[in-house]
Amino acid sequence: MIELKKITSFANNRNNTIIMKFVQQGLLVLFSVAVMLFSSCSKKQIPVSSKSYSADAASAEMQAFARGGVERNLKTGRKKPKHVIRTAEKYIGTPHCMGGANKKCMDCSGLTYVSFAKNKIEIPRNSQEQARYGRLIFDRNDLKRGDLVFFTKSYNTSDYITHVGIYVGNNKFIHASTSSGVIITPLDNQWWSQRFVFGTRVF
């Protein structure tokens, strides 16, 4: 009877060890999958075509954003891209702060908002809504001076569009970055090129 208890106890311990190994392996697999999913979320989103919002060509996030309205007309009057760019350049060196829209401090959509407003062009205050105006441009090679450029996942938020700048030509854009304030940056900068989703032509 005692031997039987020992055998039973040994078997139970052995079974527990096997179960624990399976659990550990399962947790390892789940962790690996989670890491892969997290990494994929930081990659550039696949944008939709301005002509056809095909699920095969677009991410679910872009689809949801597009359903809120895109390619709205912006009344720019007789103003030219150079006027808005010139205004934005006056803020170069201004430090960054969330909600800022003056020489004291500036955030990304504050820069675009002020640069357009001072030229009597009315646009929304935040980047998510600014992205709904103008013809969508997905190929960076097609960008022209004065186009707005939009980015995703530059910080943690429920909004799809998280950053905006103004294309100034020569593959560069002016924007208010968190680390450097208002600055001109190459579009092929690794951080921003991975997060670029589209531009819009408002002029």
Selected catalytic residue, list 41, 83, 97, 163: 163
Catalytic annotation present for 96: no
Three-state DSSP state, 90: coil
- The Cα–Cα gap between 174 and 112 comes to 9
Name the β-bridge partners of 151: 163, 196
**Long-range Cβ pairs for the range 180-189 (8 Å, 24+):** 180/96, 181/93, 181/94, 181/95, 181/96, 181/105, 181/106, 182/88, 182/91, 182/92, 182/93, 182/94, 182/96, 182/106, 182/111, 183/92, 184/92, 187/140, 187/143, 187/149
- The Cα–Cα gap between 129 and 172 comes to 22
Catalytic annotation present for 175: yes
Selected catalytic residue, list 41, 97, 105, 108: 108
User: What amino acid positions are annotated as catalytic residues?
Assistant: 108, 163, 175
